Chains A and B, each alone.
Chain A
Amino acid sequence: MEQDLNGRASELLSEIVTDEPENFVAWAGLGKAYDRSGNIMGASEAYRKSLSLKPNQPDVWVSFGNFYFRGKSYQQSVSAYQSALKYDPENAKAQNNLGSAYMEMGELEKAASHFSTATKFDGGYALAYRNAGDVNIRLGNFSKAIEWLGKATEADPENLFGWYWLGRAYVGAGQPKTAIPHFLRVLTRRPELPQVHHDLGEAYFLIRDYEKAMEHVKTGMRINPTGPKSYVTLSRIYIHLGRQRDALAILEKGTEANPSAAAIYIEMGDIHKSGSRHNDALRAYTRAVALEPERWFGNYKRGVALYYLSQLEQAETALNEASKLNPSAAPLKLFQGLVTLAQNRPEEARIVLKEASQLEVNNPDIWFHLGQANQRLGDWNRAKDSFEKAYDLNPRKSEVLYGLSEVNKKLGDREKAREYNRLFKDVSQFEEEQNVLEKKLSGKPNSTELRRDLATLLEKNGALEEAMEYLRQAVYLGDEEASTEMDRLEKLLVRR
């Protein structure tokens, strides 16, 4: 029907421009009609004709920009929107659409600025608010995103995207509990949206309401059985509950439903890796690479597995492949550093780890290994600096405390070395005990007693949140004693 209307409009407007070739309004209309009916060449020509007859038509420039945007010619769409703004700098639509084009081009900061400008010129422009929220989520600025999306939902309370994105922003901001009502609001009106079910499930998982988490993730999975996210999230919930076998089974099911989902293989690999089954992990990562060879992540993970399998040459090759695809990933550089360190090339390791430390200044692991590279080179002062940075970021990493003790010995400060040794002893003893209990738990995944033991150990060492985690799991598994413990710990956390 619409196609017919567009066809008729095109015919009429063609007749008009044939009779009145200088009629720029008719040319613009013809452009729109062609655009809607899919006549790309015709649309482009008509828009151009109209704008050549009268360049000062901001709305036509916007339409022309949209035409390019839909065709994924983002650079041309940017030019068109910019032309619109040349004639009408306060054109909110042009600002918003320009932001969208930048967003598609990965220039998120620029995009955010244009969305923001759009809302200045049109205070009720809900789409621009939503876009500003979206781009801030992508930038990891969740509090800003919440602010924008709040305005978006205020400006257009009927638009479900606004509520959905607001929920996402709250999850990103670490407030899953607040996110839940927003997702529920969307689902009340559109219960068939798998992504929303998934995200709601994820939010429940984050607040450790395992039942509801599983229910919604499974619903998402039922509605969209090929979506990899649900399989991944459900497996993570199972892992959390110590149900490794179920986790792997659901991922297997995911690969059957969607054999080309690399994300599922990556997750499988991660589970195997966490159980030190590096060979199984390697197999899974290799599948992921085969499915998505253009993504750095799979190659990176392969490299990590190969590193743990002590196959250093192959690890180096895989990490180099990943590096070609993403030359600025800090974790990748960290492992490149580790491989070169293991191959006794400390000079190279120092260079690559230094780069990693610049890319991710708050990663204590990177600083620790940079310290190690310096240590291997006998550069004790630099080693000390690096270890101290790692220590500032995380004072409870045993290897860092050990490194600090070692360099202080080299620098002749025996007292400091002793002090760090004392700290090391405490932390490593705790780590050892935790490790033993976790290992036992992996052998008895349904043991609530071991979970309580772990909680006690963690609480004793000040890791209350982690202790709480184990108690929650024990409660989920029906342990009443853990429930009492949880109440006590919750009060302790509140007091803190």
Chain B
Amino acid sequence: MRRSFLFSCKKEKRIWSLFLLIGTLSAQNISFKDMAAEMGLNFVHDHGGTDQKFYVETMGSGCAILDYDDDGDLDIFFLQGAPLPGWKKKTTLRNQLFRNDGDQFTDVTGESGLGDTSYGIGCAAADYDNDGDTDLYVTNFGPDILYRNEGDGTFADASYAAGISNPLWSASAAFFDADNDGWLDLFVTNYVEYSLEKNPWCGDQRKDQRAYCDPDVFMGISDVFYHNNGDGTFSDMSEKSNVMKGKGKGLGVIPADFDNDGDMDVYVANDKVMNNLFINDGTGIFKEDALFAGVGFNENGQAEAGMGVDFADYNRDGWLDLFVTNFSGESNTLYRNDKNGFLTDVTFAAGLGQPSLEVLGFGTNFVDLDLDGWEDIFVANGHVIDNIELFNPDYTHAQRKQVFMNRGDGTFIDKTSEIGGALQEPQVGRGAAFGDIDNDGDIDIVISNNNGQASLLINEGPPKNNWIGLLLEGRLYNLDAIGARVTVTSGGNSQIATVNPSASYLASNDKRLQFGLGSQTVVNEISIQWPGGGVDRIENIEGNRYYLIQPGGKISAIQQ
């Protein structure tokens, strides 16, 4: 179906003229301001530890940006730690949900039913039951919880009814439709075998300095894959789908169609062991082939400490590339898709190697911060060892965040110092979620800092270039349209993106797609390849606003 949408929404002409004015502005310097306190986003993560160096304390927690009440703005959910042996503070640690009320956030944890006091780790947000609202899956150091959104601002624990049972230490999770049956399946990464009762002593015995252990000390465990039965229940298909074969130490996860064959594969960033790439045969049966595909290790054939992960077509060749954050002393890793089933580690050639050696990366995203049509990269950093200065004075526990701007020639440049501001504030970054919190067209960032105050980095000022935002909605099935592949063409340039809120580290992002248009104010064509089949093309769409697109090429501007 092909439709033209230019100036079809007359009532919004006045707003457009403002956007067109913005569109004429040349790209300006990006700046971020931490507005968490100012906007009432008062979340303080507590890892629940004392001085016994329980390994789980290093992990931090994640967060989600989601519109839980379906009111058109993005709310924020944080995972919280839990008291560990020896912890004596007189507060209750629980997960927290903050409702976006425009210029303020309100803590609605109590009424939402999301204030669980388990040791929260990560989350995934999506409409798994196709009832039109966003549900939540929470990973824990302990049994995970599946929350069904009741559509009235509350959530109900549906784990038992849904047949979900994952008592292991899980990390990131992702909803996606593995077999294209219209129901979102669930992939959960599991980390390592660890119990508080068996907490080994690690560190420098010579100096009697205790530190957190290395992941090497613990055994990895298999990830879990649940198939959505379409009746509110899930079946554990980990073994049958071959996911169980990829025994790793899973942290980050991302579903994506790396081989452009129409189904979503899954990439798992493992900690210091080979990363996994589960290639989907289209029916939800996977073949683990990271090594052969070239994404299991770095270019030296070394396993890295994979944490956060994201994909995007950073070089605009129509194929999804992959970015993984790693440990200090290792670089983060950029794998370029060679379009033949292989990906190549091009980190150093892309200029991303050296700047990432001295920091320890966690939450990350390909994000077009200046809306020039090229995906930049954001990384939240923070060391895992809280007394790292004792072992290596060159490293710090709290670290700056980093922004790498895409130069459009296959390389990136570290612009962190230039942008400065909140980026330079040293924090112990972990989960980072990305989305347009203030609905102004550019992407803002929520960061859960380990054992500290969360950050809300608002991309300040008007958007630096023209843009278009798309909210895709499936019909009857896969209402979140996860897996839909969108190609936006403007001014002779094409960009692709896939609907997928699960990326980064322990996080869930704004499910809308954001495209930077540079100086172009009109999109010549939007092409949508819907999951499960069907392609729509829409022509001549005015930029600088959000649109809702449904199958059949139905497009409507969203009032913000």
Contact = CB atoms under 8 A, between A and B. Distances in A.
29 contacts: A244-B206, A248-B206, A277-B204, A277-B391, A278-B392, A279-B392, A279-B394, A308-B329, A309-B394, A310-B328, A344-B349, A344-B351, A344-B353, A346-B349, A372-B300, A376-B349, A398-B301, A402-B300, A406-B294, A406-B299, A406-B344, A409-B294, A418-B292, A424-B301, A428-B274, A428-B303, A432-B273, A439-B214, A440-B217
B357 interface: yes
Contacts of B301: 398-403, 424, 428
Nearest to B350: A344
A306 to B, nearest CB: 10
B302 A443 contact: no
Given A279-B392, A342-B353, A344-B348, A435 B216 contact: yes
Contacts of B217: 436, 439-440
B354 A344 contact: yes
A362 interface: no
Interface in A306-324: 308-312
B358 A310 contact: yes
B342 interface: yes
A120 interface: no
Interface of B: 200-202, 204-206, 214, 216-217, 273-274, 291-292, 294, 297, 299-303, 328-329, 342, 344, 348-349, 351, 353-354, 357-358, 391-394
Given A277-B391, A311-B394, A342 B292 contact: no
Interface string A391-411: 000000011111101100100
Contacts, number: 82
B393 A279 contact: yes
Interface string A256-285: 000000000000000000000111000000
A346 B302 CA distance: 20
B216 A439 contact: yes
A237 B169 CA distance: 42
Interface string A439-463: 1100100000000000000000000
Contacts of A342: 348, 353-354, 357
Given A279-B393, A342-B348, A417-B292, A443 B299 contact: no
A432 B302 CA distance: 10
A20 B533 CA distance: 120
Nearest to A244: B206
Contacts of A310: 328-329, 354, 357-358, 394
A417 B217 CA distance: 32
A190 interface: no
Contacts of A443: 200-202, 205
Nearest to B358: A310
B296 to A, nearest CB: 9
A81 B387 CA distance: 67
A214 interface: no
Contact of B354 (A244, A343, A418): A343
Contacts of B202: 443
Contacts of B300: 372, 399, 402
A425 B274 CA distance: 10
A101 interface: no
A376 B348 contact: yes
Nearest to A436: B216
5 smallest CB-CB distances across A and B, nearest first, come from: A402-B301, A310-B357, A399-B301, A344-B348, A399-B300
Interface in A214-263: 244-245, 248
A375 interface: yes
A421 B291 contact: yes
A341 interface: yes
A306 B351 CA distance: 20
Contacts of B393: 279
Contacts of B351: 344
Interface string A363-399: 0000000001001100000000000000000000011
Given A344-B353, A440-B217, 15 more contacts: A245-B206, A278-B392, A279-B391, A310-B328, A312-B357, A341-B348, A344-B351, A344-B354, A376-B348, A406-B299, A418-B292, A428-B297, A428-B303, A436-B216, A443-B201
Nearest to A422: B291
A425 B291 contact: yes
A426 B45 CA distance: 42
A431 B558 CA distance: 56
Contacts of A248: 206
Contacts of B349: 344, 346, 376
Nearest to B357: A310
A120 to B, nearest CB: 54
Nearest to B219: A436
A428 B290 CA distance: 14
Contacts of B273: 432
Contacts of A405: 291-292
B390 to A, nearest CB: 10
B346 to A, nearest CB: 9
A435 B302 CA distance: 13
A428 B205 CA distance: 29
Contacts of A421: 291-292
Contact of B299 (A244, A311, A372, A425): A372
Q: Which of A309, A346, A400 has the most CB of B within 10 A?
A: A309
B123 to A, nearest CB: 31
A184 B353 CA distance: 56
A440 B214 CA distance: 11
Contacts of A406: 294, 299, 344
